């Protein structure tokens, strides 16, 4: 991660720290991409249901005896449909159909999580997310740092434009003011501008 003291020792006190921040930001995103790609390679070799986090649930009384589910919402919906169709005693239905189905789903999802963890892909995704988080944190810092060189200022403004174009982050007030001043705008910023640098994480 970027460090003021290390930077000063390498480049001198008069050097623009923004330039090193941009280098570090790119390095962190490259590491995030590298870890994510490695995780994807491992995950792609696993069965499809593991990749997609689908657990198989069997309900003998249902019209379709078995199905694949990624979470409880759809299963609960299907259970409620079956509950009304069967018209069974509520206590019996809960004990013999609803709860066993949910137990199958939870056990299946737990097994999937265990398999993905054992494969190593989840650890790589966590590393990728952490590198991306550090890069996003550095973007906040870039935005609040005053450039001391023309190259630093232009790089800072280019980053602001880049983030506005992808429309998935907000730009902090500092960067907004610099951007507006540099291109001659006054008054309200474009609607894409908001209240802080940030970015999307990986593998949510």
Taking the chain (204 residues) in runs of 10, the rounded mean pLDDT of each run is 52 70 92 97 96 91 79 90 88 92 96 97 98 92 81 80 63 51 37 31 37
CA 22 to mean position of chain CA atoms? 21
59 belongs to a structural domain: yes
Beta strand ranges found along the chain (DSSP E): 55-58, 66-69
Instruction: Give the per-residue pLDDT at 171.
Output: 47
88 part of a folded domain: yes
Tally the C-alpha atoms within 13 A of residue 39's C-alpha that lie toward its C-beta.
Answer: 21
Question: Is residue 110 in some structural domain?
Answer: yes
Judged by DSSP in three states, 58 sits in: strand
In a domain, 82, yes or no: yes
For position 92, what pLDDT does the model report?
A: 92
Domain assignment present for residue 33? The answer is: no
**Cβ atoms 7, 20 nearer than 8 A:** yes
Q: Which two tokens stand for residue 193?
A: 């501008």
Q: Phi and psi for 58 in degrees, rounded to 5?
A: -105, 130
Query: Is residue 13, in this structure, part of any structural domain at all?
Result: no
The count of other CB atoms within 10 Å of the CB of residue 186 is: 6
Give me the helix-helix angle, 121-144 and 99-119, nearest 10°: 80
Position 30 scores a pLDDT of: 97
Q: What is the pTM of this model?
A: 0.67
Sign of CA dihedral 161, 165, 166, 168: positive
pLDDT at 184: 39
Residue 64 belongs to some domain of the structure: yes
pLDDT of residue 14: 57
Residue 65 lies in a domain: yes
CB 170 within 8 A of CB 198: yes
**Is residue 187 classed as helix, strand or coil in its secondary structure?**
coil
Check residue 193 and give its pLDDT.
28
Domain count, the chain: 1
Domain of residue 102, residue span: 52-119
């Amino acid at each position: 991660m970027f460090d003021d003291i290390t930077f000063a020792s390498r480049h001198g006190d008069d050097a623009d720290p923004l330039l090193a921040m941009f280098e570090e930001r790119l390095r962190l995103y490259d590491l995030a991409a590298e870890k994510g790609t490695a995780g994807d390679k491992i995950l792609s070799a696993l069965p499809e249901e593991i990749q997609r986090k689908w657990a198989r649930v069997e309900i003998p009384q249902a019209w379709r005896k078995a199905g694949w589910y990624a979470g409880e919402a759809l299963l609960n919906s299907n259970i409620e449909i079956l509950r009304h169709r069967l018209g069974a005693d509520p206590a019996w239905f809960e004990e013999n159909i609803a709860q066993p189905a949910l137990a199958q789903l939870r056990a299946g999802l737990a097994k999937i999580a265990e398999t993905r963890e054992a494969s190593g892909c989840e650890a790589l995704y966590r590393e990728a997310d952490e590198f991306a988080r550090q890069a996003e944190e550095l973007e906040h810092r870039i935005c609040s740092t005053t450039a001391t060189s023309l190259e630093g200022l232009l790089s800072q403004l280019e980053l602001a434009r880049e983030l506005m174009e992808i429309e998935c982050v907000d730009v902090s007030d500092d960067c907004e003011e610099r951007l507006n001043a540099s291109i001659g705008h006054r008054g309200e910023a474009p609607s894409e501008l908001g209240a802080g640098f940030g970015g999307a994480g990986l593998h949510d």
